[in-house]
Amino acid sequence: MAKVSNEELIKVVQIYNDEGRSAAYDFLRNQYSVKNPYFVIKRISNDPRFEYDQDKDHFLIHSQIDPSDVFISMEELCSPEVAECYQPSEKQKMSGSRSAQMEKLIQELLGDRLLELTKYISLDSASKTMMIDHTSLESAGYRIVTY
């Protein structure tokens, strides 16, 4: 029994849509020696490329997205007409820069806190040991609480 590859599923779907379920079952039995074609149809139903329309009893085939259609070429990007279309508004520029500045501030604050902690605490992951310098922490004004 040969396994029906993902590329060959499209042919099965086309037969299913054109000639019906029984023709697709016969095709799977004869071509691939599949004893129970229900599971191949179930595999087609779970495939994101296909969508089953229960009212019409056929599968809709979703076209694959061509990567060249997703991105624009350098010529299109550099042309003056297209450049005007992609210009962000002043409001978008302000909100983008504001969020970037806030993110940078948060990273700096977290970095400062971690740097402060490394003065007093060190972790050894190999031996699963945490070494805390109690005297330095207390002399720096920290209160130590363990629980």
Q: Which stretch of DSSP H or E encloses residue 132?
A: strand 129-132
pTM assigned to the model = 0.43
Amino acid present at 1: M
As a whole number, mean pLDDT of residues 99-108 equals 85
First to last CA, the chain: 63
Report the 10 Å Cβ neighbour count for 43: 14
- Encoded tokens for 133: 């310098």
Residue 94 scores a pLDDT above 70: no
Residue 86 scores a pLDDT above 60: no
Contact 42, 59 (CB under 8 A): no
As a whole number, mean pLDDT of residues 4-22 equals 88
As a whole number, mean pLDDT of residues 69-86 equals 63
